[in-house]
């Protein structure tokens, strides 16, 4: 099955810095989604980018997608302590109900 793999596994930055996380996957996709998970909680959907899109913005979030390299990146600008969480990418195939999640990047933002 398709699987996203995030890189790095863990990232520690100072408040105000930018954070970049990467995701690679193996097969063709219909869309790629990013989610955030605070410790011990459910996941929260952040952004969805379709296979025919290259870049998408939402507030301080910027997502890029390069289907030729089968990779995506999530940039969080001007990070805040409240951004501390794990971030997951998930890929969906054409016409599929199933999303396949990577193992996540654990982001720590130090005040």
Partner 1 sequence: DGGITQSPKYLFRKEGQNVTLSCEQNLNHDAMYWYRQDPGQGLRLIYYSQIVNDFQKGDIAEGYSVSREKKESFPLTVTSAQKNPTAFYLCASSTGRNSPLHFGNGTRLTVT
Q: Which residues are near partner 1 by CB under 8 A?
A: 1, 4, 30-31, 33, 35, 40-45, 48, 88, 90, 92, 94-104
48/75 with CB nearer partner 1: 48
Distance in Å from the first CA to the final CA of the chain: 39
Secondary structure of residue 12 in the 3-state scheme: strand
74/104 with CB nearer partner 1: 104
| Cα atoms in the 13 Å half-sphere on the side-chain side of 85 | 19
Name the residue among 68, 1, 59 with its Cα closest to residue 34: 59
Least distance in Å: CB of 26 to partner 1?
14
Least distance in Å: CB of 43 to partner 1?
5
Least distance in Å: CB of 18 to partner 1?
24
* Residue with the two structure tokens 């794990």: 86
Least distance in Å: CB of 51 to partner 1?
10
18/45 with CB nearer partner 1: 45
Name the residue among 21, 41, 20, 23 with its Cα closest to residue 31: 23
């Amino acid at each position: 099955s398709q699987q996203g793999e995030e890189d790095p596994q863990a990232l520690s930055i100072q408040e105000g810095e930018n954070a970049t996380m990467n995701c690679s996957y193996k097969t063709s996709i219909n869309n790629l989604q990013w989610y955030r998970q605070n410790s011990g909680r459910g996941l929260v959907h952040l952004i969805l980018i379709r296979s025919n899109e290259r870049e998408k913005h939402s507030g301080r979030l910027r997502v890029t997608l390069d289907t030729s390299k089968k990779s995506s990146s999530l940039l969080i600008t001007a990070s805040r302590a409240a951004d501390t969480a794990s971030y997951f990418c998930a890929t969906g195939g054409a016409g599929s109900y199933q999303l396949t999640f990577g193992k996540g990047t654990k982001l720590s933002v130090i005040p």
